[in-house]
Structure 1
């Protein structure tokens, strides 16, 4: 019997799903690890680096019986090609399992509805790697140069017409428009999960992004101040075909920008009527950034327009000033 451990994924873990497909194909029984049961081999996957201590505990517990992969544990580790190319096991995750991983999404009924949508979706990559080499990103080291790995048809789940596309840089793909046309022709609802590189936006790409149905906001990033001109040009181009209320822009903070630059990006985006979403680099323990992220991401800024007057931050400033004075 083969045991699987999904350490920290919020949505079904592709690597575990493909391992499940492979081992079931050779006659093995596959399940998520249950206490008190014995397994011939255990595979675990960790997405986030913050989970490294959990992985260490698993190694201590299962010793040479366990093999761990994922960016959160070993950035170099990959699936064997014969497994990587397999269709995911769409029967592995239950709706209840995914719902249990959802935080702050509302009622139990709402979580189950959202989890059902995710579990029944097709998912995967049609391309790997990226044309960029951003210092804060694992993708270039983990996946190498941009290359195609699968067709849209390889990822589909017959249970629904939703496709969660994990491609790291769809707008860099030479076949980007062909893939968007196919998504439209197949009448799929797509979640471009990793976002689009808005700096590579063209009128034709924007047109076809506007032609397909999106599961949620179409998102992109403005990570560095040096990207400002290209990002704003890309937003303008995209906006010709995708309404602003369907945009979301991720802002990396705590990497190499000052708080003043973070606030500048926030104000610029909101002036364009684009929703920003703050991402704290490696979850660094910066009290001001933590409150800033909550103020922005929870849309509190729409009621309390001045961050310096945001109640929780006002109360926290005494502690923050003490910490930053050393």
Structure 2
């Protein structure tokens, strides 16, 4: 989701001939990258005034400007989340659910919890999405909040590429079953994706695989998300190899179909 325009850079300045800028913003998503950001600021300081910001520094997020720190096509229509999931930093940084005053056009929706918005807001979002192609809900769909009305709005979209749900806790299974039960009547598995959190304290490879298989059996196409704590504690090679298997559709689809 990173920006792709000519003034977006990744890492150190490229070569000796670089343009001068009035301001250079270094956006940092994860706290464990702050040391790297400081080093980048030192190097980029030769080309303009540097400012470091982003979620890693507790930025609560304000009104959304398309193309700023994310690629064009991405849109964010709300901030925060009413839930207090133990593994998620969003409520701490952005607070409770906040609907942004202006909905910007885009076909990739990246709200934290779009489904927690009021229907007044959702109707505006869906009206905007009716004009988009290849709509993706890459985040923000909480299974427990997906009712038939929401599914009907999804069905009405002229072009839906994919939507992502989550199976992060054991108690998330029942809402996932209900939501997917509604969705799979109208959308194929390839469009119903599901993040499955793995590798947190107390988790095992066996438990994680059971959840991933269950997500498949429910009717989704799962994707293993390997847990990282605030200290970016290194996960074992075993966990990394396991995650790799469950992020490659060609591998796990074959495994599921040949059971």
Q: What TM-score comes out, normalization by structure 1 length?
A: 0.64
Aligned to 1:292, which of 242, 245, 252?
242
SS of equivalent residue, structure 2 residue 107: strand
SS of equivalent residue, structure 1 residue 297: coil
- CA drift at 1:210: 2.1
Determine if the alignment matches structure 1 residue 191 to structure 2 residue 132.
Answer: no
Aligned to 1:128, which of 43, 64, 79?
79
Change (3 A) 1:254 1:183: same
Choose between structure 1 and 2 for higher RCO, CA contacts under 8 A separated by at least 6 residues: 2
Q: Which residue of 2 aligns with 1:12?
A: 3
Q: Which residue of 2 aligns with 1:69?
A: 53
- CA drift at 1:190: 2.3
Q: Which residue of 2 aligns with 1:275?
A: 221
SS of equivalent residue, structure 2 residue 2: coil
Q: Is the 8 A contact 1:171 1:200 kept in 2?
A: yes
CA distance in 2, matches of 1:302, 1:188: 27
Q: What TM-score comes out, normalization by structure 2 length?
A: 0.78
CA distance in 1, matches of 2:150, 2:255: 36
CA distance in 2, matches of 1:239, 1:253: 25
CA distance in 1, matches of 2:215, 2:63: 40
Q: Is the 8 A contact 1:249 1:274 kept in 2?
A: yes
CA distance in 2, matches of 1:269, 1:41: 46
Unaligned stretches of 5+ in structure 2? none
Q: Is the 8 A contact 1:195 1:218 kept in 2?
A: no
- Which has the higher Rg, Structure 1 or Structure 2? 1
- CA drift at 1:243: 3.0
Q: Which residue of 1 aligns with 2:114?
A: 170
CA distance in 1, matches of 2:36, 2:52: 11
Q: Is the 8 A contact 1:124 1:166 kept in 2?
A: yes
Q: Which residue of 2 aligns with 1:254?
A: 199
Count of residues paired in the alignment: 242
Unaligned stretches of 5+ in structure 1? 1-9, 18-29, 99-117, 157-161, 307-326
Structure with the largest fraction of helix = 1
Q: Is the 8 A contact 1:183 1:190 kept in 2?
A: no
Q: Is the 8 A contact 1:221 1:251 kept in 2?
A: yes
CA distance in 2, matches of 1:255, 1:213: 39
